[in-house]
Amino acid sequence: MKALIKILAVISVVISSAVFAHVNLEKSSPSDNAMLMTSPEELTLKFSKEVRLVKVSLKNKQGKKVKFGFQPSKEASSEFSWKLPQLAPANYIVDVTFLGKDGHKMKDKFGFMVH
């Protein structure tokens, strides 16, 4: 009986950790794989739960970073937005590193194209 209780306790901890850590990027603008005819005016990220952003980088396919004023967030939020400079026609990658409420570090990335 003690062994069963220990097993159930371990399972409950593992499941609850996975549930609390499961935060994802629900939506972005531009969206993943978007093909845009003009440069986007903003970069917007919307998460399934509140997070703190550690790093957000925007690079072209050659790895050249685009500066847009990102600063790590001190306060948790589920939505973030920045004005973007005029982007030249190219493929772009956005890399995102964020922390959930429990301090769990997660990453995501998506890409888009400006014609």
Low-confidence ranges of the chain (pLDDT < 70): 1-21
Q: Is 72 left (phi over 0), alpha (psi -120 to 50) or beta?
A: beta
What is the per-residue pLDDT for 69? 96
What is the SS3 string spanning 29-89?
Answer: ECCCCEEECCCCCEEEEEEEEEEEEEEEEEEECCCCECCCCCCCCCCCEEEEEEECCCCCC
Kind and range of the H or E run holding 10: helix 2-21
pLDDT, tens digit (0-9, with 9 covering 90-100), for 31-57 = 999 999 999 999 999 999 999 999 999
Residue 36 is predicted with a pLDDT of 98
pLDDT at site 22: 81
Looking at residue 11, its pLDDT comes to 59
pTM beyond 0.75: the answer is yes
